[in-house]
Amino acid sequence: MKFSVTIPAYKARFLKECIESILAQTYKDFELIIVNDASPEDLTSIVKSFNDPRIRYYINETNCGAVNVVDNWNKCLEYATGEYIICMGDDDMLAENALQTYNDLICKYPNVDLFHSRTMAIDEKGFSVALMLIRNEYESLCNFMLYRFFPHNGNMQFIGDFCFRTTTLRKVGGFYKLPLAWESDDITAFMVANPNGVVHTAHPTFFYRINGQTITNTGNVEIKLESTDKAYLWYKNFLTSYSPVNVLEQQLLLQIKQNLDSFFTKKKIHIIASDIAQNVFHSFKWIFHKNSYNLSSVLVLQSIAKGIVDSIKH
């Protein structure tokens, strides 16, 4: 079995479209693993409407939930028998040539363990709202990491963007667990890309659906801050222990270290500002309880300013 395409499923709304896009693949050597996270919605009827032997369907006895969603990602990994694994949301879609594209790149780069799709973001009606930038076909680990430290709409990435070598993913401990999967996709990718780098597709083969039910747009603000702090510690530890293989990698690693604090400060400002934009009176919460979240006065004031401006814009 070449590929395991997995769906850690909870929502019914777009699940049928998601499954259809996978079964429509031009490359046929794959299994589709769907793990129902004890959803209150009727996912079973949707799955059973497809009569395809490549589908393997499981239902969790207890709900992992949004905070522990990575546990369900790793459930999918446990069931996978393919050489390579893709873990995508129950509302996302694959282009019909996605697996063929990955297979071609795998043949071209047999020693690489991580492959990454150029992604198109779509709205709830399936219309394109953003297209990620074209990346160099091959990137070293440090170049791949550095690119993520200058975020903008053209370089966002999601867990479903990636195709992992299954044995390597298991060797590093599976999908890296953080609350709400906040930063889990990036860290997992970096672990698997170490030391052989990453290969990117030139054409969009993954469609990430932006909608109000995604975990990115929901979830407890305090938990997001907790997850951000844990991710920061992972980066600090990783960058301290990582040994660059050449002079160029040394320079890239230095740039990453120089931008680390700024990157995570901006992430915290964004999280807090989003909370304030929804309710400006939350500004007082962050002022009076900043020490509880280990936040500086400057960071809180910057967050408040951004939150108020964002609330006015919307």
The mean per-residue pLDDT over the stretch 121-133 comes to 92
Domain shared by 190 and 285, yes or no: no
Domain shared by 181 and 295, yes or no: no
Give 178-232 pLDDT, tens digit per residue: 999 999 999 999 999 999 999 999 999 999 998 766 655 556 899 999 999 999 9
As a whole number of angstroms, the distance between CA 166 and CA 42 comes to: 30
Query: Would the pLDDT of 314 be above 80?
Result: no
In the prediction, which pLDDT does 218 show? 56
Domain shared by 202 and 292, yes or no: no
Query: Would the pLDDT of 43 be above 60?
Result: yes
Domain shared by 106 and 195, yes or no: yes
In the prediction, which pLDDT does 186 show? 95
Domain shared by 204 and 229, yes or no: no
Q: How many CB atoms lie within 10 A of CB 39?
A: 17
Domain shared by 204 and 227, yes or no: no
Eight-state DSSP code of residue 26: S
Last residue of a domain, one of 171, 187, 217: 217
Number of domains in the chain: 2
Q: What is the mean pLDDT of the chain?
A: 93
Domain shared by 146 and 254, yes or no: no
Compute, in degrees rounded to 10, the torsion defined by CA atoms 34, 70, 162, 206: 60
Domain shared by 142 and 65, yes or no: yes
Domain shared by 251 and 213, yes or no: no
Query: Would the pLDDT of 273 be above 70?
Result: yes
The mean per-residue pLDDT over the stretch 22-45 comes to 98
CATH code assigned at 200: 3.90.550.10
Last residue of a domain, one of 217, 250, 282: 217
226: exposed, middle or buried (Cβ count in 10 Å: 0-12, 13-18, 19+): middle
Give 49-100 pLDDT, tens digit per residue: 999 999 999 999 999 999 999 999 999 999 999 999 999 999 999 999 999 9
In the prediction, which pLDDT does 219 show? 62
The mean per-residue pLDDT over the stretch 144-159 comes to 80
Domain shared by 165 and 39, yes or no: yes
* Secondary-structure percent of the chain, ordered helix, strand, coil, rounded to 5: 50, 20, 35
Structure tokens at 54: 């490549």
Q: What is the pTM of this model?
A: 0.94
Last residue of a domain, one of 217, 248, 279: 217
Domain that holds residue 27: 3-217
As a whole number of angstroms, the distance between CA 106 and CA 17 comes to: 27
As a whole number of angstroms, the distance between CA 302 and CA 210 comes to: 27
In percent, how much of the chain has pLDDT > 70?
96
Confidence category of residue 265, pLDDT binned at 50, 70, 90 = very high
Domain shared by 233 and 265, yes or no: yes
Domain shared by 111 and 237, yes or no: no
